[in-house]
Structure 1
Amino acid sequence: MAFQTLPASDKGDRPWWLVAFGVMALAIGIVIFVSDLYAQVFGTVVKGLGVTVFVTLVGFALASILGLGIALLGMADSTVLRQIARFYVEVVRGIPILVLLFYIAFVGAPAFVALYNIVTAPLATSGLLEPMVVRDISLMWRAIIALMIGYSAFIAEIFRAGIQSIDKGQIEAAKALGLTRTQRFRLIVLPQAMRVVFPPLSNDFVAMVKDSSLVSVLGVADITQMAKVYASGSFRFFETYSIVAYVYLILTIGLSILLRGFEQRMRARSQR
């Protein structure tokens, strides 16, 4: 049996699935435009769009930075540092994002505040600094930190695989030219690794858009939370969650198409 190794659209076939989705999205858009009920639901749900976008962008940026650091730590010369990185990756990957969200929000944040108050106790006693309370750390930032930690473990593995895919001969040639380790990484390794890691990073970015809906369990006013509040008050569960699914589909499929186009341009540029 022969299996396709690429999506049909990558083999020259027309993207009929995209046409079907476009027709479906247009039909739902018309329903929203002509129906007062659906228009009201849509107007309520999209109020949380800004929070969803903010949580996703900031969370993914921080997760990428932390993930790159963990990946470099895992390839260090020191055995201890490598084992610390591996311990972090394996432990964090084994914890569901929702559990991590609760843990950071209700265990990690109070522990951080307690530690901060202990360290700054002399300054607080002298009146130079006010003691911190748990509510000073917003629930949105607790959610962002949880997503950052949860995704950084997966992103670390992506970066590790990308960096290790670079031909060692190029690194040896850079050494012969007298480039320092930092210069070799910045000028030789990272630019090439980014072309390798971009597709899986894109997938993780789209996945974080969906997983950002989990912040609603903390009461953060994202798309899902706005929908929960509206549905619980109006009992219009079908209409509300149909609109929520519609908005997330527009976001995720739109992002997937944009990122796939950017990936193809990167691939074409590298082949010139």
Structure 2
Amino acid sequence: MPDSLTLTLTHLYPDHLNLYGDTGNLIVLRRRCQWRGIDCTVKSLSMGEVSRPGETDLYFMGGGQDNDQVAVVEDFHQLKADTIQADTEAGVVFLGVCGGYQLMGNTFLMGNGQETPGLGIINVTTKAPGTEVKQRCIGNLVAEIPDAMYEEIQSLYAESQAGKSQIIPKTLVGFENHSGQTFLGEGVEPLAKTVAGFGNNAAAEYEGARYKNVFGSYMHGSLLPKNPHFADYLIGLALRRKYQDPTLTLPPLADTEELEAHHYAVARYGSTRG
């Protein structure tokens, strides 16, 4: 492993998919790299631009309204699909939030009844609510990280940092606002188990999805500022893959304000489901 580490982050469709301050997720990733001395480059990949394989370590795609989601589909399939699907199959990290999460799937059914092909990055489908769904999935969301993923997160921090693993939250917090109901297909695991709020759909017990190093979530807020351990997880996965070093660790950061915000959300909203 070289003495200095570098990462390249790619922001997909920043002009079309950028609701609810989701760009804050990229700011967090870049800052947490910089604070550790990791050289982090953020580049945009917009409409009309061609992607090429092997040029990024982590993709991010934010939320958008229905018409914005439809607008990028044709561009993606013509100019970006082969590269991004090859990259993600090879383990490149990808994070999609809300509309970006819905768009990652095979199809999504709009509120006007129009069914649109998704990007096909992950085996999920999203449908507009039917008559059995009387409300949007909106409100604060708290979810519990699976044991295996939690152990991976703990492994990212150097053992010499005594006690760090004891303060890593086993939860994720955020704010959801979606009418679309997302359903996971074969080969896809939930990102986390819902403790409070909805998550993937109005009847779901789980929030988000994971396939290899591809992650989808309904958590705005933004997701990563109040979940610094998950931000580090994405950074760690990207670095371990890039440098082919499964033992690579990150020096922990203090995260005082970030964890205070996280624990406040858990304490205030984490006692009820739905």
Query: TM-score band, normalised by the shorter chain?
Result: under 0.3
Q: Which has the higher strand share?
A: 2
Compare CA radii of gyration and give the structure with the larger one. Answer: 1
TM-score by length of 2: 0.25
- Structure having greater relative contact order (Cα 8 Å, sep ≥ 6): 1
Query: Which structure carries more helix by proportion?
Result: 1
